[in-house]
Structure 1
Amino acid sequence: MPTGLSIHVGLNKVDPAKYNGWDGQLMACENDARDMAAVARAAGFEETVLLTEQGTADNITSALRKAAKKLKDGDILLFTYSGHGSQMPDTEGDEPDELDETLVFYDRQFLDDELNREFRRFSPGVRIFTLLDCCHSGTATEVPAAAEGNGEAAPRVMPVLRQQQVFEQNQEFYQNLQRELRKEGNGAGPGTVLISACQDHQVALDGRVNGAFTGALLRVWDEGAFSGGYQDFHRSIKDRLPRSQVPNFHTTGSPSADFLGQKPFTV
């Protein structure tokens, strides 16, 4: 029988000492991580949950590398992240918009290319399903409240001034990291399915109980009553969100038709 491992990260704040005094307070990210872990557990995954202070780059990288050593061809990894998303200048020229997207971990920003590098450590036959409930926006945007009664909503985006300050204060570190990742190249890697909360130029909404994206996902999933493949799942979540937040569906490493046609969270 295949093995399923899942890693769930939820950060309701970050370390202000690492972000020029900004703590990035949010309400629902830890709830998102716990709720996604419950979905994974019910589907037969062995879950790891990292909340706020535990959500450091080293802890998350360590969890991913342990999973990469354990999972074999035919197995599946589920990785979910709920927190802030940001962008920084792409100094290596591999991004069309000249910006690298980042996940805002507790102690530092984690480049999208870093996440890809960790996924490439997995055997090519491992299925990887990633859910990111965060902003990928480099500008502050006025955002309307979510449409389905999720309570007071705020964008999960690092303010532009903070983005600039944090990058400038750690510019040498991030530029060296970008250079290192560029030299390594992307490669094919295992088949990966990503459903993210919004497009790169948009922001994702927080909420009192869940983020707008995670809340919509949980309603679509309906405790496992959902039927259909990953693309059907994406479309159904998209239908429940406002036009200001359009979930993205993206694949890398050429996931098989069998993988794409499976019911999400199938071990």
Structure 2
Amino acid sequence: MSRAVSIHIGVNRPRGRHAGRPLQYAESSAWRMAELASQAGFGSILVLRGREATAQALHEALAGAAQTLSGGDLLLLSFSGHGSQVHDCSRDEGFGWDETWCLADEEVLDDKMAGYWRLFDAGVRIVVVSESCYGGGMGRDDDGAPPATPRHRPPVMRDGWGTARGFRAEPEMEAAAPCIASAPADDLGIRASLLLISASSEDQVARDGLFTRYLLDVWNDGTFRGSYCDLYRRVRKHVMDETCSQEPQILMLGAPDLAFPMERAFRPGERAPATRGAPVYR
């Protein structure tokens, strides 16, 4: 039987640049995402909120999950809090910036998160739900021009959420998972398959609590039976009906898994009921 582990992080008042700008809903969102995991039948649920949400606590949680999970198992990681961008000192970003999550004691870079994804075995499926500013994975054009509008921004794959890389066209991905533009051209050493569902693109801020509120509305206490693609489409529509300045994103990272986005959301190994004529939102 597949194992399902979830980790939920919420930080209203991080240390550092955002210390004077506390959020209102991030820590309660972590509890509510943990409730979602409970409704979905996750066997192990960890909540890190406020001062408990440190870089060391995140390290221990992810390293422990990597030792526990094997092929066919599922990890759900949610983060609610401030996101930021810092200059890319390692020079592995095509546009010159790293994205971060702002924890209670420090910021964790996208490069660091990519390192954690590499700890997981092949066949592990990871879902990351990020309600933070700059959480998406779309980047700049190859010529270094400023980002296009979200609706027309050319797709790039990112290392963890980081290094800009090109996609390759995958017709079978289009058929199997219409919410994913194309499969990763390079797994970048990540053997697991990972879906990143973020509240906004990488050049947008995210309104406090908005994305999680609509995600939980669609989830509807576990009565939602659709796939991750279905979930993303519906949440994206709700968010953009309220504000066109924030566009949720969905990306596949690591090892391509064409069936993953079409599984029933947050239900490991369950195929979602087929839907006909569903609109494609990208």
Instruction: Tell me the TM-score normalised to structure 1 length.
Output: 0.76
Whether the aligned pair in 2 keeps the contact of 1:57 and 1:110 (CA below 8 Å) is yes
Offset at 1:115? 1.0
Provide the residue aligned with 1:149 in structure 2: none
What CA distance in whole angstroms lies between the structure 1 residues aligned with 2:17 and 2:131?
24
What CA distance in whole angstroms lies between the structure 1 residues aligned with 2:52 and 2:75?
20
What CA distance in whole angstroms lies between the structure 1 residues aligned with 2:115 and 2:193?
13
Instruction: Tell me the TM-score normalised to structure 2 length.
Output: 0.72
Provide the residue aligned with 1:190 in structure 2: 192
What CA distance in whole angstroms lies between the structure 2 residues aligned with 1:20 and 1:2?
41
Matches within 5 A, 1:237-256: 237-241=235-239, 242-256=243-257
**Corresponding residue to 1:30 among 27, 30, 48:** 27
Distance 1:122-1:25 versus aligned 2 partners, 3 A rule = same
**Corresponding residue to 2:125 among 124, 127, 132:** 127
Matches within 5 A, 1:70-219: 70-136=68-134, 186-206=188-208, 211-219=209-217
Letter in 2 for 1:93: R
Residue deviations 1:166-205 (CA, integer Å, cap 9, x gap):
xxxxxxxxxxxx9xxxxxx942331000100000000111
What CA distance in whole angstroms lies between the structure 2 residues aligned with 1:189 and 1:233?
25
Offset at 1:71? 0.7
Residue deviations 1:46-84 (CA, integer Å, cap 9, x gap):
100000100110001111111111111110000000000
Name the SS of the counterpart of 1:266 in structure 2: coil
Q: Which runs of 5+ in 1 are unaligned?
A: 138-177, 179-184
Name the SS of the counterpart of 2:57 in structure 1: helix
What CA distance in whole angstroms lies between the structure 2 residues aligned with 1:232 and 1:49?
26
What CA distance in whole angstroms lies between the structure 2 residues aligned with 1:231 and 1:21?
33
How much identity, in percent, do the aligned residues show?
37
Offset at 1:22? 2.9
Letter in 2 for 1:39: L
How many residues are aligned here? 214
Letter in 2 for 1:238: R
Letter in 1 for 2:249: N
Provide the residue aligned with 1:14 in structure 2: 14
Distance 1:83-1:20 versus aligned 2 partners, 3 A rule = closer
Offset at 1:20? 6.2
Q: Which has the higher helix share?
A: 1
Whether the aligned pair in 2 keeps the contact of 1:24 and 1:84 (CA below 8 Å) is no
Whether the aligned pair in 2 keeps the contact of 1:8 and 1:80 (CA below 8 Å) is yes
Distance 1:73-1:256 versus aligned 2 partners, 3 A rule = same
Letter in 2 for 1:12: N
Provide the residue aligned with 1:259 in structure 2: 260
Offset at 1:21? 8.6
Distance 1:224-1:187 versus aligned 2 partners, 3 A rule = same
Whether the aligned pair in 1 keeps the contact of 2:13 and 2:19 (CA below 8 Å) is no
Provide the residue aligned with 1:44 in structure 2: 41
What CA distance in whole angstroms lies between the structure 2 residues aligned with 1:222 and 1:91?
43
Root-mean-square deviation (CA, aligned residues, Å) is 1.8
What CA distance in whole angstroms lies between the structure 2 residues aligned with 1:247 and 1:96?
21
Letter in 1 for 2:259: D
Provide the residue aligned with 1:65 in structure 2: 63
Provide the residue aligned with 1:168 in structure 2: none
Letter in 1 for 2:11: L
Letter in 2 for 1:64: L
What CA distance in whole angstroms lies between the structure 2 residues aligned with 1:189 and 1:39?
27
What CA distance in whole angstroms lies between the structure 1 residues aligned with 2:93 and 2:236?
25
Offset at 1:225? 2.2
